[in-house]
Structure 1
């Protein structure tokens, strides 16, 4: 089904006040009894249920790269990790601008020109459209909600409203986490921080090995990860564990 198509008769599925209310009810039902750490993944699942998309992922802004927080499934998780590894893709554009990116058909020349490697890889997984929405605002964008569809097309006005509602709920959930969810021993945020630290440590080691700056070292790490078919975090772990060096020794 193409995003925006109605499965039963040509009008926007669930459009109107009643449809919006049903979306709010579905979000509430999906989050019922959820622990703070479960909210992002639950919302990704709700997004797939409410919208004509096949997958959803959420990533948080990091100093050097976005950090994947949750996904609706393995393919969505892989696409989020791919964008982090490449340093390219709709997610990165949203993080730079704070504005949504609605790539209605990745097979179009303009998408291939903007994100050549990401587009090639995404099309290879069967994804044809990506809708990336900011978490936060244009002034303060804390992350992205990325929606993936196997069919090209646009989101209708109602579907876009629902997608923005989901992004708003996701932002609120991240901002309003109780303090115990941030506890170093309990919180999922501590795991993300540890992942981020490993990447920074690997970048520092590559800088020392090659005598290059931080941007060059991160580019080398990303290129190595892509060449090996692993995530940038997995490549960083190899560097930190001394299983991979970037000099001749």
Structure 2
């Protein structure tokens, strides 16, 4: 993320942030690091929740969160196909939404803004993970009160995002890696969504984008995640060509 000690506008606060990050990661295995860093972000910044998601072919995959509320907001963005996370994945640029009740945010993400406000969230800051050339995911920060991040707080947020990017490179993929095959489980979940999209395409005779939109709409209408809706389709508990 290009964060260097010499760039720090907060003087000794940089060293404090580094110390908190180091303490938060102490003893953590690769699979634990993303969740630990979400908790560190909440400790260091004026935010109430944090989540991290990886880029997927059709939707972001939630990797970790600081708590149930942050996890729900990450899943909501994946279900809707909209929100700050998606903008970051498309552009590679940070999104700092100071007040979701503001008309500009409501116009930009009408359903997400409404749902987030209903969950008690007023501000969202979404930061890209990866390099300037490739965005591999996002760190999303949620705040119950409106407002922005000052220069030092943004610097710390980018520092956490930079460490998160490094942590992602150490994630074990399959069971051969220290017995932690959980990341392959995320890929399997993603495959289930693709399988469900294919089944909906066959049932309705529509393209992939339309089928995914139908799946997302069904999930949102029934207050479920896209994965939960997809599993019903794959298990043939839900069809889209019957009333």
Band the TM-score falls in, shorter-chain normalisation: over 0.9
Q: CA deviation at 1:216?
A: 0.3
Structure 1: 5+ residue runs without aligned partners?
A: 1-13
Q: Which residue of 2 aligns with 1:221?
A: 215
Q: Which residue of 2 aligns with 1:182?
A: 173
Tell me if structure 2 keeps the 8 A contact 1:97–1:138.
no
Q: Which residue of 1 aligns with 2:53?
A: 59
**SS state of the match for residue 31, structure 2?**
helix
- Measured on the aligned residues, the alpha-carbon RMSD in Å equals 1.3
Q: Find the partner of 2:164 among 165, 170, 174.
A: 170
Q: CA deviation at 1:150?
A: 0.3
Q: Which residue of 1 aligns with 2:192?
A: 198
Structure 2: 5+ residue runs without aligned partners?
A: 1-7
Tell me if structure 1 keeps the 8 A contact 2:31–2:180.
no
Equivalent-residue separation in structure 2 for 1:104 and 1:166 (angstroms): 20
Q: TM-score, normalised by structure 2?
A: 0.93
Tell me if structure 2 keeps the 8 A contact 1:37–1:187.
no
Equivalent-residue separation in structure 2 for 1:221 and 1:242 (angstroms): 14
Equivalent-residue separation in structure 2 for 1:176 and 1:39 (angstroms): 9
Moved over 6 A (4+): none
Q: Counterparts in 2 of 1:1-249, with a 5 A limit?
A: 16-177=10-171, 181-184=172-175, 186-248=180-242
| Deviations 1:122-160 (CA, angstroms, capped at 9, x unpaired) | 000000000000001342000000000001011011100
| Deviations 1:33-73 (CA, angstroms, capped at 9, x unpaired) | 00110000000000000000000000000000000000000
